[in-house]
Structure 1
Amino acid sequence: MTRSIVRVLLDSPLPQLDRLFDYAVPAEFVEDAQPGVRVRVPLRSAGRMIDAYVVEVDIEEDDSRALSEIDTVVSAAPVLPPSLASLARRVADRSAGRASDVLRLVIPKRQVRVEKAWLAAGSLQASAPVDVAPQAQGRAVAVLGEYEGLADALRARSRIAVEAIPRVNEAGDPEWAELLAAAASATLSDGASAILVVPDYRDIERVMAALSGLVPEDTIVRLDAKQSGPLRYRAFLRTLEDAPCIVVGNRSAVYAPVTAGLVALWDDGDNLLAEPLAPYVHPRDVALLRQEREGSALMFAGHTRTTDVERLIATGWVQPITATRRVLPRVILDPPQEIDQRGQRLPSRAFLAAREATAEGPVLVQVARPGFAPTLVCGQCRVPARCRACGGPLGARHRGAAPVCGWCARTAHAWTCTSCGSDKVRLAASGTERTADELGRAFPGVRVIVADGNHPVESVADRPSLVVATRGAEPPAVGGYRAVVLLDGARMLQAPELRIGESCLRWWSNAAALAAPGAPIHLVGVDGPVAKALATWNHGAYARTELAARAPLHMPPTARVAQIDGTVAGVQRALEAVAEVGLPADAVLGPIPREDEPELQRALLRFDYAAGTRVVAALRAAVIAEATGRRRGRGRTSRTTLSVRLDITEPDL
């Protein structure tokens, strides 16, 4: 006798359950238990019901095998199409993670009313082809024509890296949004969907504005973490339909289950694109896996170029594309020796440029930190002032205020230095508010605007003003800024991070792209390779230099890096499992005790991309063995099991 069975993926955090399980289908569920639907199934080992997704449906000829039956079909909506299931599996296998964790990032929580309305409307059927107005097509062709070979590369479904023109439109918005909109419009005209991934909600708004009037409004789908549950679920269900659309969203939008003809990422070096949830896979890597499987066009766009993209260019996997006629910002370097007096932040040349520019319109001043004085030091010995309760850095909220901890927010009354005993503090750094206070006195009669995380500003009018903003929070100005002054560059470069050079170059370049044509851009107090790259606008050369410097050290992205955390015995067993792969002797850094939990250890494992499949398989097997061994009684006193995180961009050395 035959019977219907389904193979399901359990929604479980346990690594040993990250595989397909067979369940029998009762007669009453045969019609509804289709691939992609949600079901509930019994988990005999736990004695409870668990949510799952149907991945495959099959007919078993021999029904003698003992199988549990599915308990119920939760919904008839196929929220897990085969393409998404395959992508989630590949992403999990590459990252030594779980496919259920990937799907948790993609599939929103079920909204019953939204789902019932969608099913009743018969939304699974294909719609008519999308008609893009001739005027809109001409506009898209004009934008794409500014880049050499871009239109042909999109039609050929190529992998490309585009250096966006650093220019603003009449409203002051950077024109990169129009570049992404034009590429998506061209893809939609060919009958395929496009996915546009950007760092944050402000970038989403810019892309949505660029798409408005270019394509029909019902073809634009927004996937944003800030959306309400019903809106997000309705947008996700739209991506399940056969009708082509343009998906605009943040990092999780790269998984959108559409038949993609284009996947585009803007500014892949932005930290907001780094996935903070397991399995911690960057959208850039997901896009590469997706393009390899689906054959869509893949576009990395930005004002700068990350070392990750430069490595792909060096291997020939991605082709660089530049503007037919390059537009270079007018960058002026004010090296450290040009600062006239000790403690003066604004050199005379930049000060005069800002004064002349404020007579015509807004001027942007970029600083490193928000607040008034985010860092205090001892007034006598210059040792950083620390909180007695938690050890956090002390800062000042305004002039003459008592020191406040930046971590626990406690006020440090009667503070004394632990090094010399002095009770005096000194301002060691200037934030947005202190800078605004100083510039307000230096530029009397000019309006001063603060733009940072605590004071978000959407846009600035075309009138004289000074905009003091932190990196990444710079609002666009109508007509563009008449001058841009980049302060605290030397302090930014002192951060103990592997990628701080390319990060600073990206921050400064994005701010420079907001300047009006011909406006001066002053980089204050910085010299060296990063300053030279900004002045010459040769970001590719700087990325190549960074790659050459990291290659002998086997640091990312020249090599893949895995971070292994766990007990002493667990980390040792994982390293022994990896040793069988045959990695070099210097592949392992550590293990050493973790600073936050000394009873646990951490090790870093460096390996070539060619060995990735074998290394990841060994690490995943070690994680499963540790989890199942702990359940059987080994290591009952352990507070945590073994965890592995792949492709660490900033190794904690």
Structure 2
Amino acid sequence: MAGDLVARVLVDSPLPQLDQLFDYRVPDRLRDVVRAGMRVRVPLRTGGRIANAWLVELGDHSEFAGRLSELDDVVSEAPMLTPEVWRLARAAADRAAGNASDILRLAIPGRYVRAERAWLTAEPDPGPLPVDPPAPPGGAEGALARGLATGERMALAADARPVRLPDGTWVGAWASELALAAANVLASDRSAILVVPDYRDQEQLEAALGALVDARRVLRTDARQTGPARYRAFLDATGEAARIIVGNRSAVYAPAARLGLIAFWDDGDGLMNEPLSPGVHPRDAALIRQEQSGAALLFAGHTRSVEVQRLVELGWVHEVPLQKPVRPRVVVTERQAQTEPGSARIPSAAWREAQEAAALGPVLVQVARPGNAPLLVCDRCREPAKCAACSGPLAIPRSGGVAVCTLCGTAASAWRCPVCEGTKLRAATVGASRTAEELGRAFPRTRVILSDGERPVLRVGPEPALIVATRGAEPFAEGGYRAVLLLDGERMLLRETLRVAEDCLRWWSNAAALAAPGAPVFLVGVAGELASALATWRQPEWAAHELASRRTLRFPPAIRVASVTSGRERLARALDAVTEAVPGVDVLGPVPVDEGLERALVRFDYGQGAAVARTLEAEMIRAATERRKPVAGRQVKRPILRVRFDDPEVP
């Protein structure tokens, strides 16, 4: 092997037994071409197949005593996989008992040859560095500015108000604060990664950055871009110039020269959950990357996720208070037995305020769901009404009549509540479309604007208007809304999930932050601790109370949970292996899911995570490589063993 150049590659495959580095000899014809980080093609011994792979590193020797196979070819001359991203992918995959190649598939966009050739032949032009750094970001006694300089982990309760940029564009104060932090990091010739839940937040953040830094220093990476544009932005990020990278959850894996800041906006948003294997939350990936790089880490939001609250209580993340926080004026209204005539279920106090505010500017009405048909609950116990045939939600058709299932269309003429045996139904919420129709009749001279997932509206002007929006689809109003009405709170709290209260507080807080300073925000139909937390704007205290409750019940994130799904025998062997290898783990289940599969939950402390991941990964490899005796006339399926750590679907 003396004198040979050895390439260590990661095969791009979902098979767990291939999740390791393999050595290949570099042939003489490729010696002057190969570089670490390139896409290559390698032969596999089984069936003479050729597979794509990532060239992770080059060396001059191999520990393998036999004859090495040769690299087949180089796919791309652009080194896409940087050492920093590889270390992050490897650590994140190990933490979740997943494949590093699955992480890289999320981190690195698909190849576009024309865009790659244009990038390879173009002259790098990062744009001029700012001559003078912008003013330091806010924070008590400059704590945020010091944290950015020293690489601290911080939690920031964002200012709840709209602000106007020098060019006249209105954005949330949070966007201006994050842009200012990123601009200060860029001024010291370091890169920043800013992660937001969706394109609405990204649009505000890009507008705020445009007022502070050269547009050529800002790279956008998200699913709304064309494939070539996203690929070109990723290639630009692999260069030596410091950049500000803005994007959705996968942006946390972006290459960045001299990384100085990773900032999250609203990390608890459900859009941050990664649906693809191995399902690593970008917040967890950011925590790993911060430790590896020493960059500052900032979690900002109007609310605080329970996961971040846990880190704050551990002292791993430090709170950064604002100097002069602005809080909305929230009014909690009591539930009314009878709605005001023509008021679209709005209490009288909020109705009067909305009438007055609608004459001065835009008024926001937040509802739970789109559409026309009202969803139904039991009139006695408020249990959601479900179809007896398919368990789908029941609703009243727009034309009226008997309630029907929204999924299968079955009429519920003889419905009976499975909880209290009640037979009467009542409307829990009315869709956005019907709410807009009702308000249009009640405000005949006021323009009504509908915004939901099918008809998104990003911005509205300062003119008088009624904006009916589903949660998360609220447009940004120039100067802020003159009043905000948060309807359907009772319906939102009926969702069957552990995080329902946390989600509702976030939805309401984000909508309240769109109000102009001093404008009233009415929370309708909700009382108790959750309403008090919103009214007093003490979301961190509520997160602390929620975390204490989950710690008592041993619910995430007080502990970690791994869901394990397989057939009965294979699942039993996997559970036996993990309980023997890691004493003290807690197993819940198993319960049947579908197609002969069962699922169990493994609960364990954070310190046991590495051992649990190693054990379950070994079981997945054993299941994937297990040979089963063929049966004549039947197709034998390979045993399935699926593992998901920190599964957001676990109730």
Mark yes or no: TM-score above 0.5: yes
Using the alignment, how far apart are the partners of 1:588 and 1:579 within structure 2? 8
CA contact (8 A) 2:428 2:488 kept: no
Q: CA deviation at 1:379?
A: 11
Q: Which residue pairs with 1:163 in the alignment?
A: 157
> What amino acid is the match of 1:153?
G
Cα deviation, 1:519-540, whole Å, max 9, x if unaligned, reads: 0111111111111111111111
From 585, 589, 613, the equivalent of 1:616 is: 613
Q: How has the CA–CA distance of structure 1 residues 65 and 323 changed in structure 2, closer, same or farther, with 3 Å as cutoff?
A: same
Give matches, 1:543-582, under 5 Å: 543-582=543-582
Q: CA deviation at 1:581?
A: 3.0
Using the alignment, how far apart are the partners of 1:240 and 1:98 within structure 2? 23
> What amino acid is the match of 1:609?
Y
Q: Which residue pairs with 2:237 in the alignment?
A: 239
Question: Does 2:493 correspond to 1:499?
Answer: no
- How many residues align structurally? 638
Cα deviation, 1:467-497, whole Å, max 9, x if unaligned, reads: 1111110001111100111111122122221
> What amino acid is the match of 2:83?
P
> What amino acid is the match of 1:626?
A
Question: Does 2:101 correspond to 1:100?
Answer: yes
CA contact (8 A) 1:79 1:240 kept: yes
Using the alignment, how far apart are the partners of 2:413 and 2:130 within structure 1? 69
Q: CA deviation at 1:365?
A: 0.9
> What amino acid is the match of 2:475?
P
Q: How has the CA–CA distance of structure 1 residues 390 and 337 changed in structure 2, closer, same or farther, with 3 Å as cutoff?
A: closer
Using the alignment, how far apart are the partners of 2:292 and 2:76 within structure 1? 29
CA contact (8 A) 2:429 2:491 kept: no
Using the alignment, how far apart are the partners of 2:501 and 2:81 within structure 1? 41
CA contact (8 A) 1:583 1:607 kept: no
Q: CA deviation at 1:429?
A: 2.8
Give matches, 1:431-442, under 5 Å: 431-442=431-442
> What amino acid is the match of 2:48?
G
> What amino acid is the match of 2:179?
A
Q: Which residue pairs with 1:319 in the alignment?
A: 318
Q: CA deviation at 1:153?
A: 1.1
Q: Which residue pairs with 2:48 in the alignment?
A: 47
Q: How has the CA–CA distance of structure 1 residues 345 and 547 changed in structure 2, closer, same or farther, with 3 Å as cutoff?
A: same
Using the alignment, how far apart are the partners of 1:295 and 1:62 within structure 2? 33
> What amino acid is the match of 2:181?
A
CA contact (8 A) 1:556 1:649 kept: no
Q: Secondary structure at the match of 2:581?
A: coil
> What amino acid is the match of 1:53?
W
Cα deviation, 1:449-480, whole Å, max 9, x if unaligned, reads: 11111221111121221111111100011111
Question: Does 2:482 correspond to 1:485?
Answer: no
Moved more, 166-175 or 356-365: 166-175
Q: How has the CA–CA distance of structure 1 residues 63 and 308 changed in structure 2, closer, same or farther, with 3 Å as cutoff?
A: closer
CA contact (8 A) 2:193 2:246 kept: yes
Using the alignment, how far apart are the partners of 1:156 and 1:384 within structure 2? 51
Cα deviation, 1:139-173, whole Å, max 9, x if unaligned, reads: x43x5367751111111111100100001024543
Q: Secondary structure at the match of 2:202?
A: helix
Q: CA deviation at 1:340?
A: 6.3
> What amino acid is the match of 1:642?
L
- 5+ residue gaps in structure 1? none
Question: Does 2:292 correspond to 1:293?
Answer: yes
Q: Which residue pairs with 2:329 in the alignment?
A: 330
Cα deviation, 1:600-652, whole Å, max 9, x if unaligned, reads: 11000110011111111111111111111156779974465101000124524
Question: Does 2:1 correspond to 1:7?
Answer: no
CA contact (8 A) 1:23 1:68 kept: yes
CA RMSD of aligned residues (A): 2.9
Give matches, 1:65-104, under 5 Å: 65-104=66-105
Moved more, 447-456 or 239-248: 447-456
CA contact (8 A) 2:559 2:603 kept: yes
Cα deviation, 1:422-471, whole Å, max 9, x if unaligned, reads: x9997553011111222222223222111111221111121221111111
Q: Which residue pairs with 1:531 in the alignment?
A: 531
Q: Secondary structure at the match of 1:54?
A: strand
Cα deviation, 1:267-288, whole Å, max 9, x if unaligned, reads: 0010111111011011100000
> What amino acid is the match of 2:143?
G
Using the alignment, how far apart are the partners of 1:169 and 1:249 within structure 2? 22
Using the alignment, how far apart are the partners of 1:258 and 1:392 within structure 2? 46
> What amino acid is the match of 2:368?
A
Using the alignment, how far apart are the partners of 1:397 and 1:74 within structure 2? 56
Q: Secondary structure at the match of 1:91?
A: helix
Q: Which residue pairs with 1:120 in the alignment?
A: 121
Using the alignment, how far apart are the partners of 1:72 and 1:626 within structure 2? 32
Moved more, 622-631 or 236-245: 622-631
Q: Which residue pairs with 2:420 in the alignment?
A: none
Q: Which residue pairs with 1:28 in the alignment?
A: 29
Q: How has the CA–CA distance of structure 1 residues 373 and 129 changed in structure 2, closer, same or farther, with 3 Å as cutoff?
A: closer
Q: CA deviation at 1:418?
A: 6.1
Q: How has the CA–CA distance of structure 1 residues 479 and 630 changed in structure 2, closer, same or farther, with 3 Å as cutoff?
A: farther
Using the alignment, how far apart are the partners of 1:122 and 1:30 within structure 2? 26
CA contact (8 A) 1:160 1:320 kept: yes
Q: How has the CA–CA distance of structure 1 residues 299 and 130 changed in structure 2, closer, same or farther, with 3 Å as cutoff?
A: farther
Moved more, 457-466 or 528-537: 457-466
> What amino acid is the match of 1:218?
R
> What amino acid is the match of 1:26?
P
Using the alignment, how far apart are the partners of 1:48 and 1:293 within structure 2? 36
Using the alignment, how far apart are the partners of 1:276 and 1:61 within structure 2? 37
Q: Which residue pairs with 1:393 in the alignment?
A: 393
CA contact (8 A) 1:263 1:296 kept: yes
Q: Secondary structure at the match of 1:153?
A: helix
CA contact (8 A) 1:130 1:188 kept: no
Using the alignment, how far apart are the partners of 1:204 and 1:33 within structure 2? 37
> What amino acid is the match of 2:513?
A
Moved more, 239-248 or 429-438: 429-438
Q: Secondary structure at the match of 2:322?
A: coil
Using the alignment, how far apart are the partners of 2:426 and 2:503 within structure 1? 29
From 190, 195, 198, the equivalent of 1:192 is: 190
CA contact (8 A) 1:261 1:296 kept: yes
Q: CA deviation at 1:2?
A: 3.0
Using the alignment, how far apart are the partners of 1:354 and 1:310 within structure 2? 35
CA contact (8 A) 2:140 2:320 kept: no
CA contact (8 A) 2:27 2:70 kept: yes
Question: Does 2:600 correspond to 1:603?
Answer: yes
Q: CA deviation at 1:338?
A: 8.2
Using the alignment, how far apart are the partners of 2:175 and 2:283 within structure 1? 19
> What amino acid is the match of 2:283?
R
Q: Secondary structure at the match of 1:336?
A: coil
Q: CA deviation at 1:387?
A: 6.6
Moved more, 394-403 or 609-618: 394-403
Q: Secondary structure at the match of 1:262?
A: strand
Cα deviation, 1:178-221, whole Å, max 9, x if unaligned, reads: 11111110000011000000001121111111111311111110
Cα deviation, 1:380-399, whole Å, max 9, x if unaligned, reads: 99997767985533445645
Moved more, 261-270 or 107-116: 107-116
Q: How has the CA–CA distance of structure 1 residues 46 and 607 changed in structure 2, closer, same or farther, with 3 Å as cutoff?
A: farther
Q: Which residue pairs with 1:350 in the alignment?
A: 350
Cα deviation, 1:321-348, whole Å, max 9, x if unaligned, reads: 1111121211111122686679972111
Q: Which residue pairs with 2:205 in the alignment?
A: 207
Moved more, 47-56 or 372-381: 372-381
Moved more, 396-405 or 464-473: 396-405
Using the alignment, how far apart are the partners of 2:62 and 2:154 within structure 1? 49
Using the alignment, how far apart are the partners of 1:333 and 1:379 within structure 2? 23
Using the alignment, how far apart are the partners of 2:375 and 2:64 within structure 1? 71
- 5+ residue gaps in structure 2? 418-422
Moved more, 107-116 or 559-568: 107-116
> What amino acid is the match of 1:610?
G
